Structure 1
Amino acid sequence: MLKKYLTYAFFLLAPVIGIAQEQVDDFSLPDTLTFKESINIGLQNNRTLKKAILDEEKAKYQRNEIRGAGLPQISAYGGYNNFIDVYPQAVPGGIFGGDPGDIEVISLGVPQSLQAGARVNQLIFSNSYLIGLKAAKTGEEFYRVLAMQSEEDVIHDISMNYLGAIQLELQKENLQANIDQLTSLQKILESQYENDLARKVDLNRVKVNLTSIQSELENLKIAIYQREGYLKLLMGIPVDTPMILDRTVADLSKKVENFSVGDFNPFDRKDIQLLGIQQKLYEYDYKNIKAEHLPQLVGFADFNKNAYSETFDFMSQSKVWYQGFLIGLKLEIPIFDGLQTKSKAAQSKVKSQQLNLDKIQAEDAANLEYQNAVNKYFSSMSTLESLSGNLELANDVLKDTNLLYKEGLSPLTDLLDSETTQREAQANYNNQIIQVRIAQLEILNSTGKISNLLL
C-alpha cells in the first residue's frame, strides 16, 4: 500500500500541461484589463492549476485509503452445497464394529448444506502501516506545495506574456506615430511637387519609408494577435474574447522605481521545498522496507450459521440452524526472504543519496538564477537611464531638424534620418522599460516570492 502511494507521488512530480480549450459562456473582461486582474483571472481559470488542485484533493483520498487499512475489515459470506454423490470416506473397519483389519468405505455427511456468516479482521500491530500513515501525510503536503508551485508558474507565465504583449503594443504605437508623421509629410511633398517646389526623388523616398513602416506594422499586428491569444490561453478564457491591456504597467511609476531587491533564501522556493518533501518520502520508503522484517499481528473473528438437509427445505420454519463462532490471532514473523529486503533497502538508500545530490544542485542553480536576475536588473536600470537621455536628445534633434527643413535650411534626408533615429530611440526606451519589469519578475521568481505581485 505504501509503495503504491509513493509511486503516485513520484510519478506526478511533473504534471502534464493540458492545453485543450474549453468553452466558457458569456465571459467578458473589464474595459481595460490590468496586470493584477489578468493574474487573478488566470488563477481562477488556468487548466494546469486546476489539475494541480485536483491532485491535491486526490492526495487526501489516498491518505484516507491508507488509513482505512487499519480500521476493521468486515465482510459477509454465504455458501450452498448440493452433493449429488456424497464424498466417500475410508475408515478402519473396527470403528463401526467390523473386522479391525478391514477398511470400510462409507459416505459421511448430508447431500445439502447451507452456510451464512460474517467475518471481521482487525490489524493490531504493523510497523509498515504506521510508516504508511506518516508517508501519506507527507504526500499530502507534497501535493499541496506542488499546487502552490503551479500557482506561481501561472503568475510568472501570465506576467511575462502580459508584459510581452504591452511591449509589442508600445512598438505598434510608436510605428503608428511615425506613419502619421510620414503621411503628413507625404501630403506636403505632393502639394509642393505639384507646384514644382519639391523634387520627385524626395517624394518617392518618403513613400518608400512609409510603405516599409506600414509593412512592419502589419507584421507587428500579427505578433500582437498571437501573443494576446497565448495570454488568453494561459488565463483560461476563450481566445476570441475582446481584450484591451493596461499600458500603465510600462510607466516609470513607483512599481518600477521603488522596487527593492529582497534577500535570497533557497528554501523559500517551491521546487526546493518539493525536493525536501521527496527526500522525506524516500526515508519513509526505506523504513517501510526495513519494517518487512518486523512481526505483524492481526485479530479475526468469524460468526456463522449452518443448516444441513437431505432435501432443499431450508426455508422451513422447523429447520434447525447450527451456530458457530470463532475468534483468534494471526502472527506473521518473517525469518528469511533470500536477502530481498536487504537489497531493496540498499536500492532505496541509493535513490535517497541521488536525490540529495539533486537537491544540492538545485540549490546552487537557484542561487545562480538569483544572482543573474539581480545583475540583469541593475544592468537594465543603468541601460534605461542611458536610453532616457538618448531619447531626449533624439527628440531635440528631430525638433530642430524639422524646423530647419521647414525653413529650407536642411535637406529631406536629414529629416528622414532624424525621424528614423527618434523612432529607434523611442522603441529602445519602451523596450527597456519592459526589460526592467521582466528583470523584477525574474528576481521575484528566483526568490520564490512572485506571489507578492498580488499584494
Structure 2
Amino acid sequence: MNRLLKMRSISLVLGLMLFFSLSIANAQEVVQLSLEESIKYALENNVEAKNAQLEVLISKGIIGENRAAGLPQINSTVEMTKNIQPPLLILPAEAGGAIGGGDDGNPGMGGPDDITVIPFAVNYQSTLSVSVEQMIFNGSYFVGLKAAKTLKSLTEFDKEKTETDIIEATKKAYFTVLINNERKELVAANLGRIKELLKETEALHAEGFVEKLDVSRVKVQLNNLQSEFDKVQAAEEISKEILKVQIGMPINMDIVLEQNITDIHSLTEIESLLSNNGYRRVEMDQLNTNLELAKLDLKNNQVQYMPNISAFGTFQRVTGAERFNTVFDSDRWFSSSFAGLRMNIPIFDGLRKSNLVQQNRVKIRQLENQKYYLEENIELERHQANITLRNAITTLAVQEENRELALEVFEMTKIKYQEGVGSNLEVVEADSALKEAETNYFSALYDALIAKVDLEKALGIL
C-alpha cells in the first residue's frame, strides 16, 4: 500500500514538473515585437544579412592576402634520396683512364673499349635548404593593395544595400500583419452585428412580422461573413509566418505585434516625407566603387609594362654516403649559398596587355553610362514615389469617408427596419455596401503604407 502511494506521489510530481516545463516552454515561444524591434531582429538574424557581414570579413582577408605578397617569402626544403640506379657520366676511354676509371676497380664501371662509364652520384644523398625572396618593386602589388581596400568598401556598401532591402521587406511584412489584424477585428465586429440582426429577425419571424425569406437573407449574409472571417484569419496566420521568415525567426515561435496602425500611420511623418528632397543612395556608392575598381584594373594592366625587381637568396647543407648509417655523420655535411637580384622585363606578349587595357577603357565607359542612367532613375523614382504616396493618401481619405458613410447608412437602415419602416433587404444591401467600403478602405490603407515605405527607400532614409 505504501509502495503504491509512493508511486502515485512520484507520478504526480513528474506530471507537475512536465506541466510547468511545458508552460515555461510555451511562454518562451511567444515574442512581442514592435516595428523597430522587428527590424533590429532581422538585421541580426536574416540569412542575407549574416552573409553580407561575412562578405565584409572575407574582404578583410583579401586585403591581408594581397599585403602578404610584399613580405619576405621564406621556404625550407628537406630532401632524402636513395639512388637505386645512380645517374651515369659517359666519357671517352682516354678521359676515363686519365681520371682513374676503367676496369681496374676504380670509379669507372667499365663498358665497351672506347668509353668509360662513371657513376654520377653516391647511394644516399640528403639536402637541407632555406630560400628567401623579397619583392623590391612590382607595380601590380601596390595597385592590388589599393584594389583590395576598394573591394572592402564595395562589400560594405553591398552590406548596406542588403540591410536596406531587409528593412524594406520587414516593414512591408509587418504592415501586412497589422492590416490583417485590423481586418480580422473588423470582420469579427461585423459578424457580431449580423448575428444580432439574425436573432432579431428570427424573433420577428416567430411573431409573424417578417417572412421566412428575410431570415434566409440574413443567414446567407452571416455565412458569407463567416467565410470571410476564416479567410482573413488564415491570411493573418500566413502573414505572421512570412514576417518570421523575413526576420529570421524560427517558425515554431509565436509573435505578437505591439503596435497598431494608428501608431505607424502618422500624417505628420508623411507630410515631412513629401517635402523631403532625399539623401545619398547606396546604389550610387556601389556604382562609384565599381567604377573605381575598373580604373584600378586599367592601371594594373598598364603598370605591367614596367619591369619587376626582386631579391633572392638560398642556403644549403648537402651530404652523401655509400652506406645509410654514415649519411648523417657531421663530417659529411657541406654548405653552399648564393644571393642575387632578379629583374623581369616584359618585352612582347602578343599584344595581350594592350587588349586588356582596351577592354578596361570600354568597361569604364559602360560604368559611366550606367552612373548617368542610375542618377536619372533615382530622380524619377523619387518623383514617382512622391506622387504615388500623395495619391494613396487622397484615396485613403476618400475611402475612410466612404466607410464612415456606409456605416452610418447601415445603422440608419437597421433602425428603420427595427421600427418597421424599412425592409430586411435594405439592411442586407447596406451591410454588403459596408463590407465593400471596409474592404476598399483597408486596401487603400495598405497601399498608403507600402507607398510610404517606397518613398522612404527612394529618398535613401530606410
TM over 0.5: yes
Deviations 1:236-263 (A, max 9, x none): 1122322222452345546655543354
Question: Are 1:37 and 2:50 an aligned pair?
Answer: no
- What displacement does 1:316 show? 5.2
Measure the CA separation in 1 of the matches of 2:93 and 2:345. 40
Contact 1:166/1:250, CA 8 A, preserved across alignment: no
Specify the SS of the correspondent of 2:273: coil
Measure the CA separation in 2 of the matches of 1:94 and 1:242. 95
Measure the CA separation in 2 of the matches of 1:121 and 1:404. 100
Among 191, 211, 215, the alignment partner of 2:223 is 211
Match of 1:366 in 2: 378
Question: Are 1:389 and 2:401 an aligned pair?
Answer: yes
Measure the CA separation in 1 of the matches of 2:328 and 2:178. 87
When residues 395 and 442 of structure 1 are mapped into structure 2, their CA distance, relative to the original with a 3 A threshold, is same
Letter in 1 for 2:274: V
Among 180, 188, 195, the alignment partner of 2:192 is 180
Letter in 1 for 2:89: P
Give the aligned CA root-mean-square deviation in angstroms.
2.5
Specify the SS of the correspondent of 2:316: strand
Specify the SS of the correspondent of 1:293: coil
Gaps in structure 1 of 5+ consecutive residues:
1-23, 451-455
Measure the CA separation in 2 of the matches of 1:91 and 1:337. 45
Measure the CA separation in 2 of the matches of 1:264 and 1:324. 74
Measure the CA separation in 2 of the matches of 1:446 and 1:148. 15
Among 391, 397, 402, the alignment partner of 2:414 is 402
Measure the CA separation in 1 of the matches of 2:252 and 2:58. 33
Contact 1:35/1:249, CA 8 A, preserved across alignment: no
Deviations 1:186-238 (A, max 9, x none): 11111221221211111100011111121122222222222211111011112
Match of 2:19 in 1: none
Q: RCO higher in 1 or 2 (8 Å CA, sep ≥ 6)?
A: 1
Question: Are 1:344 and 2:325 an aligned pair?
Answer: no
Measure the CA separation in 1 of the matches of 2:194 and 2:361. 72
- What displacement does 1:287 show? 1.4
- What displacement does 1:108 show? 5.0
Among 316, 323, 326, the alignment partner of 2:335 is 323
Match of 2:52 in 1: 52
Measure the CA separation in 1 of the matches of 2:233 and 2:413. 31
Match of 2:11 in 1: none
More displaced 10-residue stretch of structure 1: 248-257 or 164-173: 248-257
Measure the CA separation in 2 of the matches of 1:106 and 1:244. 92
Deviations 1:368-388 (A, max 9, x none): 211111001111222222233
Measure the CA separation in 2 of the matches of 1:385 and 1:158. 26
- What displacement does 1:114 show? 1.7
Specify the SS of the correspondent of 1:244: strand
- What displacement does 1:264 show? 4.1
> What does 1:234-273 align with in structure 2 at a 5 Å threshold?
234-250=246-262, 252-253=265-266, 256=269, 259-261=272-274, 263-264=276-277, 268-273=280-285
- What displacement does 1:397 show? 2.1
Letter in 2 for 1:151: E
Measure the CA separation in 2 of the matches of 1:257 and 1:190. 48
Match of 1:168 in 2: 180
Deviations 1:68-91 (A, max 9, x none): 111111110122333444522437
Match of 2:89 in 1: 88
Q: What TM-score do you get using the length of structure 1 for normalisation? A: 0.86
Letter in 2 for 1:56: V
Contact 1:307/1:314, CA 8 A, preserved across alignment: no
- What displacement does 1:353 show? 1.9
Measure the CA separation in 1 of the matches of 2:316 and 2:410. 102
Match of 1:190 in 2: 202
Question: Are 1:300 and 2:312 an aligned pair?
Answer: yes
Measure the CA separation in 2 of the matches of 1:81 and 1:26. 71
Match of 1:286 in 2: 298
Measure the CA separation in 2 of the matches of 1:168 and 1:207. 25
More displaced 10-residue stretch of structure 1: 229-238 or 379-388: 379-388
Letter in 2 for 1:249: I
Gaps in structure 2 of 5+ consecutive residues:
1-24, 100-113
Specify the SS of the correspondent of 1:260: helix
Match of 1:63 in 2: 63
Measure the CA separation in 1 of the matches of 2:311 and 2:362. 37
Q: What TM-score do you get using the length of structure 2 for normalisation? A: 0.84
Contact 1:250/1:433, CA 8 A, preserved across alignment: no
Measure the CA separation in 1 of the matches of 2:146 and 2:199. 80
Contact 1:86/1:110, CA 8 A, preserved across alignment: no
- What displacement does 1:320 show? 3.3
When residues 388 and 109 of structure 1 are mapped into structure 2, their CA distance, relative to the original with a 3 A threshold, is closer
Contact 2:86/2:120, CA 8 A, preserved across alignment: no
Contact 2:318/2:334, CA 8 A, preserved across alignment: yes
Contact 2:214/2:424, CA 8 A, preserved across alignment: yes
Measure the CA separation in 2 of the matches of 1:106 and 1:315. 21
Match of 1:75 in 2: 75
Question: Are 1:429 and 2:441 an aligned pair?
Answer: yes
Measure the CA separation in 1 of the matches of 2:382 and 2:63. 36
